[in-house]
Amino acid sequence: MTLIKSISGIRGTIGGAQGDNLTPIDVVRFTTAYARLIASRNAGRRIKIVVGRDARLSGPMVAPLVEGTLLAAGADVIDAGLCTTPGTEMAVIAEEADGGIIITASHNPRQWNALKLLDANGEFLSDAEGRQVLALAEECGYDYPAVDAIGRVLKRFDFNDEHIRRVLALPAVDVEAVRRRRFRVVIDAVNSVGGVVMPKLLRELGCEVIELNCEPTGEFAHNPEPLPENLTAISEAVVREKADLGIVVDPDVDRLAFVSEDGSMFVEEYTLVAVADYILSRRAGNTVSNLSSSRALRDVTERRGGRYEASAVGEVNVVRTMKETGAVIGGEGNGGVIYPELHYGRDALVGTALFLTYLAEKGTTMTELRKSYPAYYASKNKIELTPAIDVDKVLLEMKHRYAAERVTDIDGVKIDFPTSWVHLRKSNTEPIVRVYTEARTMAEAEALAQRFIAEIREICQL
């Protein structure tokens, strides 16, 4: 059982011992700390917090705890109910709230849940702000307000339709062009909140929709991370249904992956690449992704005359770098598209609408579009953390060993070789060391990964 406190929020498994898992007491403790942080910025007035959740099984238990704690801490609450992560982010802005809490463990399995913490811009707290929350959570003796000062539930509402409306209203989304193509689409929403919004979005775009795992029961039909090994069912369905493409989202709908008409993976790294290519075809500009994302985005950006910048891993880091560079599109190679014209957050709805617009305008197939991009192959591996693994020692040793190469150490260690790279870093969300590699062939990428895994084991004497 695990409790992880990081830049990505407070994430843990349900049940077990307090302090080691995401128990009710831990939910109350960290929600209180968050409310105190937000209140400290708004001295003299009552704060307002939006709360939304995905459909995972523990949501109906965690959500009332979060709401009640916020009320007890003197905050007013706007309950968005079953709402995607990007939808909750947008609702914070729309409701002029002081912050938001998204109850979701994103791609983690069913036994996990988490509190994702937002600021008044509907964006994730910075690392410094996150540390303040953790410090406040460790303090003892907080006095909650008396009865006359407790908060109120201002309203309970559904933001999902408004989210769809705003996506379809974007100038870069050509609704009529997509409707003319009459795409036949299979959608896999892993039985979470994506099953509420994605089929509706697709039907608004004139698509013929075949639903797969779209009941928001929280009983994930497969491992919820949208990786090829978890997507065999939709791959088979796309071919069986003679669909133009398949679309996969994770439980909170901030990650997006596509399946081509022949059942092959478009590859989630190329979700952002294709959407960026479309946006850059409309206007010149810069792009940003994190260090673990494909070089293909850099290649496409430079081909379109823009400048590419890499950030540390984590949406908040990508967003900060996008603002610093004035990027017109950005995101993460895990299928997370951030389009500032809508909001600064990974959003599978806007990613889908922009991608379908591009596919419709080009009049091509998924496989043909995929072939138009530089071919890179990624191998994503991990090593479970144990007391025998000193991550800092590993990273420092790797930095010294490969000092002659291009090394970036803003987040772990990334080593760029002429036609490949490796990125070693401690995960923000799981007790693991990630070993990501990319090369011109899968065999090369996997060989590079195994080489570095062996070196790590050698350093740690495993």
- To 5 degrees, how large is the angle CA 449–CA 250–CA 376? 35
Q: Give the strand order in the sheet containing 406-408.
A: 377-384, 432-439, 421-426, 413-416, 406-408
Sign of CA dihedral 420, 425, 429, 431: positive
Structural tokens at position 447: 């060989």
- Report the C-alpha gap between 146 and 65 in whole angstroms: 18
Which of 106, 192, 294, 420 is labelled catalytic?
106
Structural tokens at position 331: 């995101």
Where does residue 388 rank: exposed (0-12), middle (13-18), buried (19+ CB within 10 A)? exposed
> Which one, of 37, 105, 106, lies nearest residue 73 by Cα?
37
- Report the C-alpha gap between 51 and 57 in whole angstroms: 17
137 touches 87 (CB < 8 A): no
Q: In Å, how far are 299, 400, 459 from 407, measured between CA atoms?
A: 19, 10, 19
Q: How many CB atoms lie within 10 A of CB 56?
A: 32
> Which one, of 5, 36, 1, lies nearest residue 21 by Cα?
1
Helices within 73-159 (DSSP H only): 85-94, 127-138
> Can you name the residues that pair with 6 across neighbouring β-strands?
9
- Report the C-alpha gap between 180 and 182 in whole angstroms: 5
Question: What three-state secondary structure class fits 325?
Answer: helix
- Report the C-alpha gap between 316 and 148 in whole angstroms: 36
Question: What three-state secondary structure class fits 99?
Answer: strand
**In 222-356, at which residue ranges do the beta strands (DSSP E only) sit?**
245-249, 256-259, 287-290, 308-311, 329-332, 336-338
Would you call 106 a catalytic residue per the annotation? yes
Q: How many CB atoms lie within 10 A of CB 130?
A: 21
Phi, psi of 117 (to 5 degrees): -110, 130
Active site residues: 106
